[in-house]
Amino acid sequence: MVLKTNVKIDSGFKNPHQTLGNLRSRGSQASKESQNEKRAQSSNQRSKSNLNGHSLEKRKLPDEIWTVLRCPYCKGELKRTAYGAECLKCHDKYPSSSKGQLDLRLRRIKKCSMVFDVVDKTPSKYTIIENLSPNPQLRNKCPNKGSGCISPELLSYFPKGKNSDSLMLDLGCGSTPNKRDAEKAGFKYVGLDFDSGKSTILGDAHALPFEDETFEFVLSIAVLEHLRYPFIALSEVHRVLKKKATFIGSVAFLEPFHGNSYYHFTHLGIINSLESVNFKIKLISTDQKWNALTAQARMGLFPRMPHALIQLILAPLQIVHSFWWKAAATLYPTEARKIKNSINLAGSFMFIAEKT
């Protein structure tokens, strides 16, 4: 049985009122163009008046990135303009943000369709690596610390850029903590975020503004749980990756609700989501340093408390927990074998997948 679903994507998953705004702006083509024009002019004025801060010049995108940029609405080629960009096909205008970022978020509702094979089937069985170790091939040396929120172990699995034109996309790049590591691995870094002052391109994960088969590597750390339609976003990642290219990421599991998170993934959830859009899974793993207790304590119970103090508070509970699990394995051996402690208590899951 095949289920076909139509999903309307709008540009404002952080702002529910924006959908209404988009609907209202769907009048005649002429009025839409006039609105776009006004928006372009006002943004241009803002950018000009902001030359001492983040000017357009400072945020200038290299030519090789311009050549792969596409209209998020119709995938038409984009023309560089004084205020930002314009689609050569549907003529949507994309004025830069007040900070000089190229703003390629959707300007109107985009309808997306996906086809699912609905059968009574659980996702494929995978060996889930409990507590990931550094990559034995050490393509990238495992540093002592991961930069930002990526673990050093996962960092050691970064692929290497094939040549000087190899592009990688940091989807949901935030303050671009992974830029240096991606460049060290030989990639030209492209950071995209829906709402970050540090990103050179603003965009929506549900409608990526890039040509098909552009990137050799996509990274997405703690992003998918914040998206309204993760299946759509994953199919977009699949579309913009080259064949056999790598997709590395992490998703929240037992972290508390945070930053408007919609869907927290179990290991089956992320396996199913990746397989549904034809990714081949290479690795699913937990992170020893990020279990439910640590995640809840740092993000929910004691936010902003020094980590050393949190570890001190958690230590007795961790000790009792370890002791009880060892005791339970002896007392209830059959039941204990069925439960993977680190999987049931993972704060998040990491994954490495390949585009088939």
- Please say which residue, 76 or 148, places its beta carbon nearer to Zn ion: 76
Sites of contact with Zn ion (CB under 5 A): 71, 73-74, 76, 87, 89-90, 92
Tell me how far, at minimum, the Cβ of 253 lies from Zn ion, in Å: 37
* Strands of 84-87's sheet in order across: 78-80, 84-87, 93-95
Using the minimum distance from each CB to Zn ion, give the nearer residue, 92 or 225.
92
Nearer to Zn ion, 73 or 349 (CB): 73
Minimal distance, residue 72 CB to Zn ion, in Å = 8
| 75 versus 188: smaller Cβ distance to Zn ion | 75
Q: Cβ closer to Zn ion: 12 or 76?
A: 76
Residue whose CB is less far from Zn ion, 35 or 342: 35
Distance CA(168)–CA(174), nearest Å, equals 15
Q: How far is the CB of 107 from Zn ion (least distance, A)?
A: 10
Nearer to Zn ion, 78 or 221 (CB): 78
In the bound complex, what is the minimum distance in angstroms from residue 70's beta carbon to Zn ion? Answer: 8
In the complex with Zn ion, the residue whose CB is nearer, 79 or 141, is 79
Least distance to Zn ion, CB of residue 293, Å: 48
CB of 32 to Zn ion, least distance (A): 12
* Smallest separation, CB 108 to Zn ion (Å): 10
| Closest distance to Zn ion from the beta carbon of 90 (Å) | 3
- Cα Rg for the chain, rounded, in angstroms? 22
List Cβ neighbours of 222 (8 Å cut-off, separation of 6 or more): 149, 172, 250, 251, 252, 348
Whole-number Cα distances in Å, 208 to 2, 8, 319: 26, 15, 46
